[in-house]
Structure formats: structure tokens, C-alpha cells
A and B are shown apart, each in its own frame.
Chain A
Amino acid sequence: MDTGRILSRRGVFAGGAALGAVTMMAGERVLLPHAASAGDALAPQHRPRLAPLHPREDQITDIKVCIRPFRAAGPRLDVERIGDKTIFHNYGHGGSGWSLSWGSANLVVGKVAATLNRRVAVIGCGIVGLTAALTAQRAGFDVTIYTRDLLPHTRSVRANGSWTPDSRIALTQTAGPAFADQWEQMARFSWATYRTYLGLPGAPIMFEDNYILSDKPFDDRPAPVPPAGAPGRMPRATEDFATYESRIRDIIPAVEDIPEAENPFAAPHARRHSLMIYNFGAYGHLLLSEFHQAGGRIVIREFHSPQDLTALPEKVIINCPGYAARDWWRDDSLIPVRGQTAWLPPRPEAPYGLDYRGAALLSKTDGVMIQAVDLDGLGEMTGVGNSFEHPDPTEAARAIGVFADLFARMPMVGG
């Protein structure tokens, strides 16, 4: 992880204190840095304030379970013939489907364009299918999406919805250096496309301050060496997983250390970075609207075998089934990696995120998301091989408990 820059004394939290003085008059509560002083009140007032969140288990509105479609070699992007159809695969993006969706679509549609066909079918309407369909439309194709479910019901919409382009995307050795180059191309293209959705009504895409908290000093030593030998299809340890983020650090806001005097949290060590997040409701509706407005057609249909595709009128097919490829396309290279998010009511007055003790919190427009990322010290192996797609309230309660405990220990003013 990047060491980042050191914030100036009049940093984010000093600004928070300044705004706190204002909001106290309105009877609201805000967090103050431990060492807030009168001088801090002169800090610029454009800095974000930090209203406390007190998440409770009895405030859960939903628990979503997703299965990340992980492939050791990275997403499947090859081309296959079925009868007279040409199938362009576009699935298996692990925990990076949202983040890489536009870039992956760009690669695939580029290959599709070379076929000189004008009509294209897209299988699946998760985030990978929908962005592939939109990208094909923008390249001049007539597009029909064939799908079992639309975006609100697909697995991908059960993610946490933040920029994580190399989250369980591949195994370093298995994928090899060529995939690293391809990943960078996808990540850069996706990032640039997402930026075009910033600042729109309803905030489909936005940036949020994300705070990484720790009870111990951050350890900036190089990552441990992976286990000896090649992992093949199955990861053996966290170190087997590829990390490519350093390749795009020139466009991704760096992580910054927060000096102790400006750290309002009850954890002794804190970092901050500006994180891009996807608000599923606004973004999903926007993408579907764009697809329809451009003349796209959606056919609700479930396929039972790859041979079923031969009945489609389109000769060119972009295949975006996500984890369903495992049973539909008999692709046992897909490894399930379970993830679960708990959702609490939206808290628009507290727009920030937290990572602490293996749990993550993101305050989004459609709710406060709390996720057990790694409560048991398993690192990236958490959820690997687990396809149990059923809510686990105990896991949700443990993750919520991390932040309930954190805020219970935090100083507040006002109220």
C-alpha cells in the first residue's frame, strides 16, 4: 500500500472541526479531532465534516450475498465457435467486475467490430453484460440482451460498489505478465469512463473519503513471498493473488497518512484516500435507460446449454454470464468466492467510508454498506471456494459490531 503524502495540519479533520462549530449551532453532532483547538476553527470550511455513524444490527434493511466469479488466469476473454455463431467470452472478473467492466467491454467490442457484423447479442445483464451492450451500441451495433434477470436481480449488484480493480482478479503466476498489461488497459479505460458519470443528478458515481484505521502502525514492508511452486487454478494464500494497483498510481488518488493530532477516530492509526464508489440504484437505472434510449432490446430468456445459442438470430454473441458460466458453460475454472454485505438506512450527512479490523463500511446514497472483508485473518482467502449464497446474519452482526464498538469509543460534541 502506498505511504502517500502527509496531510497538512489544516487537513480534512481540522476542516471537520470548523464545520463542527457551525453544525453544533444546529444541534447536530460531529466528530472532533482529539487535539482540536480554537485555531482549527479558522480552517477552510469546504472540507468535509464527519458525522458519526452508530450502526446497529436492528437497523439492517437487507443482507446481500454475492459470489465473485474468480478465475486464476483472469477473466475469460477468448473467442469460441458454436455452430455458425461466434462467441466472445467476457466473464470471470472476480471481485473486479464493476471496476473493470468498461475496459473489458472495450476489449471485447473491439474484437467484435472486426467481424463486420452489425447485429450483436449479449448474454447476461449484470454490470459486465450491460456495459458490454452499451459499448457495442456506442460502436454502432444493434444490440439485443438475452438475460435471465435484469441488473437489480443479478449477482453483480450484490457487490459493495467501489473501485477495486484488482480484487481477486487473478493469480499472479497463473495469469502471467501479459495479463498484467491487459489489466492495466482495462483499468485505465474503465476509470476514464466512470469519470464521465461523475457530477450527475442522483450521483450514480461519486468520490468519497475512505479512512483506513488500524490499532497497530501500518506496515509498509513488501508483501510476503508467495508459497513455493505454481498455484495452478486454486489460490493457496493471499500472496498468490495478483496486485496491479501500482501500475495506475498516476491516475488514482494516493493514500495519505493522517497525523495523530488530526485523527478523530478511536483507532490510533489512520489513513485516508479518495475512493470512487458506484451507487447501484442511480447508476443501474441510468445504464438501463441509456440502453433503451439507444434502441436496445432486452429478451428475458434462460439458456440450458451452449447449443441453445445456435437458435439466436445474431451470429455474433458476447457472453457475459458471470458465475452462471460455471454450470451453463461447464466452466469449472470458475472458483466461487463468497462475499456478503449488510445494508442499513442511508446516512447522507455522513458520506465517508471506513476500513477497520477486517470490516468495511461505505456510506452510499442507497444505504450504509457494511461488509465482513476479513474478520478471521484469512486475508484474500476469505470466501474462496464458498458458494453458499445465503445470508449469514451472524457475519453481518460481527461486521456491524466492529463499527458500533469504534463509534462507541469516539469523542463527540453537540447534541
Chain B
Amino acid sequence: MMRTKDMIARGIATCALGLALLPGPAPARPPAASTACTELAHGADLYRAACAMCHGAHLDGNFQTPALTGRFVANWAGAPVSALEAYVHRAMPLMAPGTLSPDDTRAIVAFLLEANNLPQGKTVRVGVRKALACPS
């Protein structure tokens, strides 16, 4: 699995900077992928601002706070992504639950799935090849 640090770097550097700031024409990609990459970059930014303080910059957690890799994947495997989004929206961030907007919640969950090398979709699916790939 790709290291989380790399994922964060990629999410920000390639999606945000690569798409928005680099000069020249945007790479030829379907509009849906472009939107998804923008959401991932937004999710990465939100994660750093709202989640990383407790769950760690690399989603690795600590003795008190659960990692958002490994057991996190096992725990949500097979569940509707909407259920994961509902949980994040309802319970997180712990110090201010309910403060993430629905759009921000979706972006963070998309980022978490991407960081765990899981495909986007309606269900948390493990062992399925990802369809989305932001340009590197």
C-alpha cells in the first residue's frame, strides 16, 4: 500500500497544484476524474486541518487515538460509504462533532479511501482495483 505521506503529498501536489496552478492546458481527462481529484485534494487539506492533530499526519494514530489505516479498513469493509460519511459527520472531529459540512465530510472520506488505496464508490470495497487515478 502506498505510504500515507506519499498519498497526502500526491493529493496536494498533483491534484491541487498540478491541475490548478501549472501553466499550459490541463491534461486530457474525463471531467468526473478532474472533479474527484479536486475533492481528494480538498479532503487532504481538510484532513490536515481537522483530523491530523489526533490521528496523525500519516493516519497512523497513537496509543489513544485509532489509526485510520489497517483496522480502520477491516472495520468498515463492506459498509456503505454513506455510513462512514454519516459517522464522520456525526462524531468527528471529536472536539467539535457535527461541524464538518456534508461536502467536506465527503471529501475527507474520499481522501481516507484513497489513502488506503481503496476505490471510490458506494461501498467500502477491499481487494478491488481502483478505477480512479489522479495524474502523477
Contact = CB atoms under 8 A, between A and B. Distances in A.
Interface of A: 64-65, 67, 148-149, 153, 158, 302, 304-305, 326-327, 330, 386-390
Interface string B70-114: 000001100100010001001100111100000000000000000
Contacts of A158: 64
Given A64-B64, A65-B64, A304-B83, A390 B97 contact: no
Interface string B48-82: 00000110000000011110000000011001000
Interface size class of B (residues with CB under 8 A): 10 to 19
Nearest to A303: B75
Contact of B95 (A64, A149, A389): A389
A304 B95 contact: no
A389 B87 contact: no
Interface of B: 53-54, 63-66, 75-76, 79, 83, 87, 90-91, 94-97
A182 to B, nearest CB: 30
Contacts of B97: 326-327, 387
6 pairs of A and B residues whose beta carbons are closest in the complex: A327-B91, A388-B95, A302-B75, A389-B94, A387-B95, A327-B90
Contacts of A153: 63-64
B54 A389 contact: yes
B48 to A, nearest CB: 15
B129 to A, nearest CB: 26
Nearest to A328: B91
A388 B94 CA distance: 7
A63 B33 CA distance: 43
Contacts of A389: 54, 64-65, 94-95
A364 B61 CA distance: 27
Given A65-B64, A153-B64, A390 B95 contact: yes
B50 to A, nearest CB: 12
Nearest to A388: B95
Nearest to A302: B75
Contacts of B94: 67, 387-389
A387 B53 CA distance: 14
Given A304-B87, A389-B95, 11 more contacts: A64-B64, A158-B64, A302-B75, A305-B83, A327-B90, A327-B91, A386-B95, A387-B94, A388-B94, A389-B94, A390-B53
Contacts of A67: 94
18 contacts: A64-B64, A65-B64, A67-B94, A148-B66, A153-B63, A153-B64, A158-B64, A302-B75, A304-B76, A304-B87, A305-B83, A327-B90, A330-B90, A388-B94, A389-B54, A389-B64, A389-B94, A389-B95
B69 to A, nearest CB: 15
Contacts of B53: 390
A157 B95 CA distance: 20
Contacts of B64: 64-65, 153, 158, 389
